[in-house]
Structure 1
């Protein structure tokens, strides 16, 4: 049986791969697990009775669920391994060091060896990984072996030893798997070029290797060495099929803290990742309620100081999305690309998920508070005297000047109120004239509301620029509503907001909820108007087509309109289908007419 608090935590988990952590009432870690889909996996713990008593006891103790989002399922597996070793939760199997994940090592030595290992030695060698299984490592090394003939011996191939002929070539040389650097048959420069190419492949960069192999293939083919060219072609195909490794953190990145921030109008969310020995060992997201118009820079600086003190962080370098002032003793890195940039993006992703999760919880637990928050924000952003609880948005629709119509959609408490939507046929305007049409529908809408003593909206939005806004204002002035209802225009292209008497448009933050509500209103008005316009145009076309048929009267025309809806459907209908609706005699007149005319 889950508590309301746990149900809420589960309900707002993302459908993404990641690692989940269970804590008890004393905030002690109970369990760490991985998931392809966090919400489904965590939910499965609470919707059944488990086979083992230990698992049932674990579930009863869970009070808090935390999670870290990662790009792939393999990343989740690696992160789970790191966290279990670091946190040692009570209900997890202890992972010992001899069960560490494998790496691929490029040894720092002349004629570098490339081999798999579970241990990292700090001797300047390069390590790539970790990989989720030795099978993956074997596949990669087999690929490298197919592409590049490297040595597999562990001899000390110093220049002196080679010059003194200390070593002899082995079987690998004779079967073509090695070019014999031990006897000086291959130069160090040529060998290291191959190592450089392999390094790029391990990083996921195939461009240079593909380029070199294709050039070699073409050169061999041009010299009529087709067998050798075919072997190079096979290497190219092997390289194309290979999928690059999956890793969380480059082992060179160690003892670094990562901080990122995502913010909205009322709060900021700062995510923190702690990196130690090439692994993520901790993730935490801090929510900061805004009091004034604090910038992201100010809030991130405050959060970094708070989190470093709270978790007693001693790292000398931090990774952040922009420059911050946190003291001269800490190196601040703002990465633009590479592994550090990927870690920063992972942190930002976790901050975004946390924000979405908090907003979902607020909507579920207290929908009125969620609505009130948006209303207060819209009043502030749009510089209104009152909260825009009732908003109406107008849009004109006429295609090539035909069948001009307008639509009015209504939002109440930032949600569509579809029962209050209205369509308008333009009555007093001849031809396509958006300005005059807008003036007409705004006057008709609010004249009727005044006559019927209906409550007026707090905000009117006109879909269009300054011209449409000026036309709507004429009707507002004529009805004596200037100053009683706020009215703004939104230009479609740049999301500019125009106010009466102000030639300079207002630009809202692209990620603000206020702009999202306005865009939703505008899009809904456009959709509603276009639908009505298409229906009217289809009926008009059907009317004009049917009226041209001799012997078909008004009643028959109405029956056909109701049944077939459009000229196209009527023209495609068989004589039998039409006769079922209006009788055989009239059906023959209709089918004969369409056979001899282009209408």
Structure 2
């Protein structure tokens, strides 16, 4: 195997130190292949190049290695954390990878931290005087308190409803709170105590906030004792109505605690992790207990499992020959499936809790290695325990998590099988080769605008039997007659494929495109596009999703998609044909989706740019289902982009400035007084008239203009 590698690479391997560290392998195109850790870098890395791995996945990977990078660290714990940090951020081809494409939601209580700090010459905000509860996802603000994380938005909203029933905290925005003249519906149904119209004293409200926070931290008995003391104090003062209100609070809280007591036992903060491996795929189901309450669970599915498991399994076998093993010792009588489950679990724990808060106790379906727990303890500053083969209520939790992992994995395998069948059906319908359906790439375009305003084009990508949302692109369309969908389609196709056509011609030794031809513009790592007219917005669809290279063509070289799907009939396909003819590209890849009779779903026909006859697939065709899925996604993506752009334009111009008599100064006073356009819109005529410079007639005109 070493004969296929350069002398420079083998020399670097021979010169490696016998120290702990992390190594990285790269191929000829600079793509990261693999990230690994080692207690002894020299011994570990040498084992890849000293043995014959022909005919195996590890042999396939090693044959592609042309460059090596290493980082020496102080301990195995540091190596483990660095390894998984690099895996999570760099997405190597042959490592188990968990993509966390969505941040966790939290329950936020506003202003509670700010209330503890002295005010510096400024009036306290409504969020400080009467804190509100809110669903939250994003960066943390030190002025507020955050509880969670929660596994889903549903779990947060359920907790908010529970706290509304027991403690009656407000959930309204500050602008609404500041402009209420009578209590809202939540007060009428006993879900809010009405602080907006002074129906509760501030001290009592803040006491309810404090009790809600203690409840979220799991201090339930202390909360009940505090409420009992308040109830008795009101009774002694003969304030029986107030005492009855607190009694009702205690009853509601006791009912909640009774519902939770059967599940929780005495634990406060615990994560339960169950792994299921089947059919070359795996699922890690994470269930959360926070503040003594079971909040629900969430499944995760790793990528690259087959390749990574095969490589690590083969390297583990090398221990019998004296090589350092990454996985469990070969002396252990562990089945291969069990070893794979352990590797998946440890990869998830290492990647999931990197830089994220974690509970002190993990209940796991497989044992977790001591080096990983020590590394996490060192990172978090608290002792982390992993409980395998738990008892009592923890055992019930784990069994539930294992059952949910099995259900989620079975659903994924069924969906993947269905999606692969749809891809094959489409390839057969269009007479495309079906020997490598994994590589079949479809790009679909749609145009969206509102009466010609804020026109945007979308491009969504389907590859590997699934939609690749990190490769989605939006294009701002400018310089056309408003509402001209044909001109918009011509512009987006030229910008999308002009660069690829130029690169293909350059490879073939032909002349470049004529001067002035628009070409697609590559987005940078931050999603911004290079300034070429007309302006293009090449931002990924999901900001938290892993970003691609930011280019409109694969890193391996210029390549047209197998299918260019156009949401439209003969007219749109004709425009696409003109663009492809101008660029010198293959017309056979263009497919239009024409609405059927009466524009009914299931009656669509496929229109081709190369002169082929129309094709009707049938309403129950798997191929049509895939086309409809991709087309609908392109439509959704275009509409959301157009609406965001339209809102940006309209807010930028501001509805207030369009009102006669409202200039910049009066607009600034209104916005400052009511906290924004929404606050102004929710204000009454009398409130508007209290602003300096706003007469009663102008206040009435503003109110009518905004309603």
Query: Same-fold call, TM > 0.5?
Result: no
Q: Which has the higher contact order (CA 8 A, sep 6+)?
A: 2
- TM class by shorter chain equals 0.3 to 0.5
Q: Which has the larger radius of gyration?
A: 1
> Normalising by structure 2, what TM-score?
0.28
